[in-house]
């Protein structure tokens, strides 16, 4: 029977499943203050800085001195750049902010292998970044991967995601995205380490803030600025087709990750509400065009949820959808979040799913979730900061999620049991 709860909303913007429930927002949004009108220095292109110095009668080498400190030095403010004369430092301070993050709180987990930062922005909003260290193994060199945020909150509302429950507070500016990476580059420099990879898998949907995200990717991969190779930057999306097409048109070598989670259209309407606007066949077609245009293999992310999207029938549907494509599948047991009735899939169920994909030749890896004890799934720490929702609101939210997923799962023959509820 069709479920009126997830009927398509033609022509709508990003559907907000939560608004219709009357049960959300679960969390009170923190009060926001005025934004600082000065752009971040990392917003300024090399050309803009050259003009800024030229307008003040200064030589071009001053712009290089500044850029050295902005992009690779360990200065924490314009005042620390002693190679620049005092009046220039003051003028810079009046025009730009050296860093757009007004404060950062760090937490460690996994015996120091995972670090999380909660960054405060000028208006009091908070965003998260997570650093994951992968020690050298065999012939593989040490890697340090940083997961950064593209928005404060997210409008998509995937029900297994802590950020989705926050709703969208606001888009991040280019500098606010880049400054998360600058923060960690400085921290790592203090340990004698380098940042090797950046993934847009923190808070927010990068391709719903495409101008800022693509400008940030440009600066992060520019040899005269942050200088990370394009191949070391991953844009992860829930499937914003126009954004994927923009990426394809750029013809860069960024890695594209698609948060697919299921190959069943009805179930994807529930797991990724954006599916009602951009259905999965179109998303996979757009991703395949990206792979064809760039030669880059697409990563498909599957958050594995016990008895919701991990049955043999689910595995077969995914195998059918992706077989023969330039694809890599990542299976990630769901990180538990308070407001869902769902649990992570067991290792046995994940392995069985992986075996079905491998049997059709799909490259598949099983990922371990990092930093569970510091809430490293995107948005968890920010959600904690926003305060605990009332138990009744959580229960209402769980009931809605269960009702919708039960309706989407009704026709699946080999689903062993109904979803379990309770904590
Ligand atoms: N909005 C983008 C990028 C941020 S989310 C996207 O959805 O791709 C980054 C990844 O974290 C996505 O693959 C998302 O599905 C995953 N994720 C969100 N909540 C999670 C949870 N509770 N457990 C495991 N992965 C989760
Ligand atoms: Fe937004 Fe991604 Fe979380 Fe979905 S998984 S709510 S798209 S951040």
Smallest CA separation from ligand 1 atom 3, residue: 201
| Confidence class for position 367, pLDDT limits 50, 70, 90 | confident
| Tokens 């792979």, residue located | 291
The DSSP bridge partners found for residue 233 are: 198
Residue 30 DSSP SS3:
coil
Which two tokens mark 422? 């309770």
348 is catalytic: no
- Please answer whether residues 318 and 280 qualify as being in contact, where contact means their C-beta atoms are separated by less than 8 angstroms: no
Q: How many angstroms separate the alpha carbon of residue 371 from the centre of ligand 1?
A: 14
CA atoms within 13 A on the CB side of 29: 19
Pick the atom of ligand 2 nearest to 155's CA.
1
- CA 162 / ligand 1 centre spacing (Å): 9
Cβ contacts of 168 within 8 Å, gap of 6 or more: 151, 152, 153, 154, 155, 204
Shortest-distance atom of ligand 1 to CA 333: 24
pLDDT (average), residues 85-95: 96
Using a pLDDT cut of 90, give the percent of the chain over it. 68
**Looking at per-residue confidence, does 45 or 412 come out higher?**
45
Q: How far is the CA of 34 from the centre of ligand 2 (A)?
A: 26
Question: CA 323 to CA 312: how far, in whole Å?
Answer: 16
Q: What is the mean pLDDT of residues 223-240?
A: 97
- Among 14-28, 65-79, 227-241, the minimum mean pLDDT is found in 14-28
Atom of ligand 2 nearest to the CA of 236: 2
Angle among Cα 296, 302, 304 to the nearest 5 degrees reads 160
* Global pTM value: 0.88
* Ligand 1 pocket: which of 258, 259, 261 to mutate (most atoms within 8 A of CB): 259
161 alpha carbon to ligand 1 midpoint, in Å?
Answer: 6
Residue nearest to atom 4 of ligand 2 (CA): 158
Q: What are phi and psi of 116, to 5 degrees?
A: -120, 145
The answer to whether residues 417 and 306 touch, using CB atoms and an 8 Å cutoff, is no
Pick the catalytic residue from 147, 158, 217, 378. Answer: 378
Indicate if the pLDDT at residue 420 is higher than 60: no
Mean pLDDT of 37-52: 95
Ligand 1 near 160 CB (within 6 A): yes
- Cβ neighbours around 309 below 10 Å, total: 30
Is 378 catalytic? The answer is: yes
Q: Which of 58, 99, 128, 301 is catalytic?
A: 128
User: Which of 130, 161, 271, 330 for mutating ligand 1's site (highest number of atoms within 8 Å of CB)?
Assistant: 161
Q: Over 70: is that where the pLDDT of 122 sits?
A: yes
Place of tokens 């799913």: 353
Average pLDDT over every residue of 332-346: 87
**pLDDT for the residue numbered 279:** 97
Q: What angle do CA 342, 347, 353 make, to 5 degrees?
A: 90
List pLDDT tens digits, range 173-189.
999 999 999 999 999 98
Q: Which two tokens stand for residue 21?
A: 């429930």
Q: In this structure, how many other beta carbons lie within 10 angstroms of the beta carbon of residue 34? A: 8
Tell whether ligand 2 has an atom less than 6 A from the beta carbon of residue 152: no
């Amino acid at each position: 029977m069709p479920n009126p709860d997830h009927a398509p909303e033609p022509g709508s913007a990003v559907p907000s499943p939560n608004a219709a429930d009357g049960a959300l927002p679960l969390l009170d949004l923190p009060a926001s203050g005025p934004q600082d009108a000065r752009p971040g220095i990392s917003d300024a292109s090399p050309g803009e800085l050259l003009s800024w110095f030229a307008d003040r009668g200064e030589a071009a080498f001053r712009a290089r001195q500044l850029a050295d400190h902005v992009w690779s030095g360990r200065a924490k403010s314009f005042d620390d750049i002693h190679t620049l004369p005092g009046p220039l430092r003051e003028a810079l301070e009046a025009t730009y902010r050296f860093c757009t993050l007004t404060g950062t709180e760090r937490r460690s987990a996994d015996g120091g292998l995972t670090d999380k930062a909660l960054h405060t922005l000028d208006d009091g909003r908070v965003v998260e970044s997570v650093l994951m260290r992968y020690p050298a193994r065999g012939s593989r060199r040490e890697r340090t991967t940083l997961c950064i945020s593209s928005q404060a909150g997210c409008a998509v509302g995937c029900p297994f995601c802590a950020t989705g429950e926050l709703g969208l507070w606001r888009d991040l500016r280019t500098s606010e995205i880049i400054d998360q990476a600058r923060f960690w580059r400085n921290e790592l420099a203090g340990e004698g380490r380098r940042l090797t990879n950046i993934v847009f898998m923190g808070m927010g949907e990068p391709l719903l803030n495409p101008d800022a995200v693509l400008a940030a990717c440009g600066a992060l991969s520019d040899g005269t600025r942050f200088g990370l190779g394009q191949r070391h930057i991953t844009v992860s999306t829930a499937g914003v087709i126009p954004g994927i097409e923009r990426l394809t048109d750029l013809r860069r070598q960024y890695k594209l990750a698609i948060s697919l989670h299921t190959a069943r259209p009805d179930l994807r309407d529930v797991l990724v509400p954006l599916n009602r606007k951009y259905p999965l066949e179109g998303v996979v077609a757009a991703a395949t065009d990206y792979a064809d245009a760039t030669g880059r293999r697409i990563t498909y992310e599957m958050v594995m949820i016990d008895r919701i999207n991990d049955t043999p029938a689910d595995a077969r549907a995914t195998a059918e959808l992706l077989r023969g494509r330039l694809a890599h599948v990542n299976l990630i047991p769901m990180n538990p979040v308070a407001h869902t009735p769902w649990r992570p899939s067991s290792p046995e169920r994940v392995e069985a799913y992986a075996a079905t994909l491998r049997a059709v030749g799909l490259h598949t890896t099983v990922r371990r979730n990092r930093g569970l004890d510091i809430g490293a799934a995107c948005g968890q720490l920010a959600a904690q900061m926003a305060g605990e929702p009332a138990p009744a609101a959580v229960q209402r939210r769980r009931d809605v999620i269960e009702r919708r997923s039960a309706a989407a799962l009704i026709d699946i023959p080999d689903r062993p049991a109904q979803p379990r509820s309770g904590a």
